[in-house]
Amino acid sequence: CTKLTDYGLTELFIEISYLKDLRSLRLDFGICELITDSGLRALKESIKPLSLLKTLTLDFTCVKRISDIGIYSLADSFSGLLDLRMLTLRLGYCERLTNNSLRVLLNSFRNLKLESLSIHLEGIENITKEGIKDMKDGIKTMESLKEIKLLSNVGSMIKKF
């Protein structure tokens, strides 16, 4: 995935936005070196119309050019996904992410009725124990969750209810 750019991603996301009856979506952009925060802004606009989506998997593992700003766009895209029940975010080794990304993601989950949440944050030095603790504490207040997987270098949480 060395040639996919934000422009190519934007074109893909435009097409995805027309699939309004889509119930499940898995996008794997792991190790795509040219994707930046701009690509995540484009994703935001394509996911919002997919209000019937129940399962979403987004893999940005090792996409080193995305930062907290891109995660803010991503988190904003979840607001219209009121039917979403299962969410997997693979953000491991996205080295520019910080605890701020965790806070924004957590706030974006609060209005959803997620039953299963999986977040992979391995290999991110700027994510601290305090950030993971805050995330764990916040996730515990989400009443609809039946399964949680939070993986990082500084703390993990795997629970089934």
How are beta strands 157-160 and 147-152 bridged, if at all?
A: antiparallel
Check pLDDT > 80 for residue 155. Answer: no
Which backbone phi and psi does 67 adopt, to 5 degrees? -130, -170
pLDDT band at 161 (very low <50, low <70, confident <90, very high): low
Of all residues in the chain, the percent with pLDDT exceeding 70 is: 99
The confidence score (pLDDT) of residue 76 equals 93
Task: Quickly list DSSP for 88-102.
Answer: EEE-TT-TB--HHHH
Point out the least confidently predicted range of 20-24, 85-89, 156-160.
156-160
Average pLDDT over residues 35-40: 95
Please give the span between the terminal C-alpha atoms of the chain, in angstroms, as a whole number. 37
pLDDT band at 24 (very low <50, low <70, confident <90, very high): very high
Q: Tell me the two tokens of residue 91.
A: 């953000």
Residue 153 DSSP one-character state: S
The confidence score (pLDDT) of residue 8 equals 93
Confidence (pTM) = 0.94
Average pLDDT over residues 111-139: 93
Q: How many residues does the chain have?
A: 161
Average pLDDT over residues 137-155: 89
Identify the CA nearest to 124 among candidates 150, 104, 149.
Answer: 150
How far apart are alpha carbons 31 and 22 in whole angstroms? 26
Judge whether 66 and 35 are in contact, CB under 8 Å. yes
The confidence score (pLDDT) of residue 111 equals 86
- As beta bridge partners, residue 87 has 56, 117
Check pLDDT > 80 for residue 52. Answer: yes
Identify the CA nearest to 46 among candidates 66, 69, 23, 19.
Answer: 19
Average pLDDT over residues 40-59: 92
11-15, long-range: CB within 8 Å, 24+ apart, which pairs?
13/42, 13/43, 13/45, 13/46, 14/42, 14/46
